Amino acid sequence: MSLINMSQKKFILTISGHDPTSAAGMTMDVMVASKLNFHCLSVINNLTIQDAKKLYKVVNVNEKFFNKSLRNLEKNFEVSGIKIGAISSHKIIEETINFLKSKQKIPIIIDPIIKAGGGGLFLKKENLNLALKKLYPLASLLTPNKEELFYLTGLTKPTDSIKKLQDLGINKIYVTGNEINKNIVNTLYVDGEKKLEVKTSKLDKKIHGTGCALSTSILCNLIKSKDLSKSCKEANNFMEKYLKNSLHTGEQDFINLNQ
């Protein structure tokens, strides 16, 4: 039984990295969840040196420490959904897989972060096969951007890539960031079929942390509505609202949630 009174606010859990700019990673997940009236628990799996320009270094936390943190939260909180962000350690991917196997009754959103927005690699190729075969199939929804989709599959066409992921047991995929005629088009695929397209006007700026914010917003909306298409639409509306007046840094902008 949970030791926490759940009567007023539900809990989600993020397994993610720490971005010292607070514009992505665990900090962004916490801020988005709070904006949507959820309390976000967090287990950090890596520490980074990065700024608005680039990811310079990733240091993985000890997998035993990571596992103890997960299990302690599991013991003391009733979690309504889980968000997975950038994971960079083979051993932590394995620990996360074992943890998620008993959590299939709640929504699990996985944002398969390969690179930081300004450059620098999180998911190395030696860890990619493990994530594809055993981690990503546990997701209620995978949220790659177009470039990540092609990196995951080694292919260059969306339909071929979706089919390859489907063959691996990854059946719900929300592909983001496809630029068509000055619009950004995000597409939801379910069991290989296109279920939803959401179009927004392309902004003339690059914004750090959009993938983190979008996937966390989808999770919160999915817990509320239990409707995947509706949750993706609501998350896009959330992003459109807060991206317009982003914080300018001289490099990539930051999402401004204080509006």
Q: pLDDT per residue over 158-207, tens digit each?
A: 999 999 999 999 999 999 999 998 899 999 999 999 999 999 989 988 89
- Helix 228-243 with 210-225: angle, nearest 10 deg: 140
CA distances from 81 to 74, 135, 208 (A): 12, 16, 24
Let me know: does 53 contact 81? Beta carbons within 8 Å: no
pLDDT of 125 reads 82
pLDDT of 7 reads 58
pLDDT at 135 exceeding the cut of 70:
yes
Taking residue 187's Cβ as centre, other Cβ atoms within 10 Å add up to 19
Q: What is the greatest pairwise CA distance in the chain? A: 52
pLDDT of 4 reads 46
pLDDT at 115 exceeding the cut of 90:
no
Let me know: does 37 contact 9? Beta carbons within 8 Å: yes
Q: How many helices (H) and strands (E) does the chain have?
A: 8, 11
Assign 109 a pLDDT band (cuts: 50, 70, 90): very high
> Alpha carbon 139 to chain centroid distance?
11
Assign 114 a pLDDT band (cuts: 50, 70, 90): confident
> Rounded CA gap, 240 and 234, in Å?
10
If you average pLDDT over residues 221-234, what whole number do you get?
Answer: 98
If you average pLDDT over residues 196-220, what whole number do you get?
Answer: 94
> Rounded CA gap, 257 and 245, in Å?
9
Let me know: does 108 contact 140? Beta carbons within 8 Å: yes
- Mean pLDDT in the chain? 93
Least confident of 29-38, 120-129, 159-168, 237-246: 120-129
Taking residue 160's Cβ as centre, other Cβ atoms within 10 Å add up to 13
Tokens 């936390």 sit on residue = 61
pLDDT of 3 reads 47
Per residue in 76-107, pLDDT (tens digit) is: 999 999 999 999 999 999 999 999 999 999 99
For 181-193, give the DSSP string.
TTEEEEEEEETTE
> Rounded CA gap, 33 and 39, in Å?
6
Per residue in 64-81, pLDDT (tens digit) is: 999 999 999 999 999 999
Per residue in 5-54, pLDDT (tens digit) is: 455 789 999 999 999 999 999 999 999 999 999 999 999 999 999 998 88
Please give the domain boundaries of the chain with CATH numbers for all domains: 10-254 (3.40.1190.20)
Cβ contacts of 225 within 8 Å, gap of 6 or more: 231, 234
If you average pLDDT over residues 143-171, what whole number do you get?
Answer: 96
Count CA within 13 A, CB hemisphere, residue 220.
Answer: 26
Q: How much is the CA Rg of the chain, to the nearest whole Å?
A: 17
If you average pLDDT over residues 149-165, what whole number do you get?
Answer: 95
pLDDT of 118 reads 66
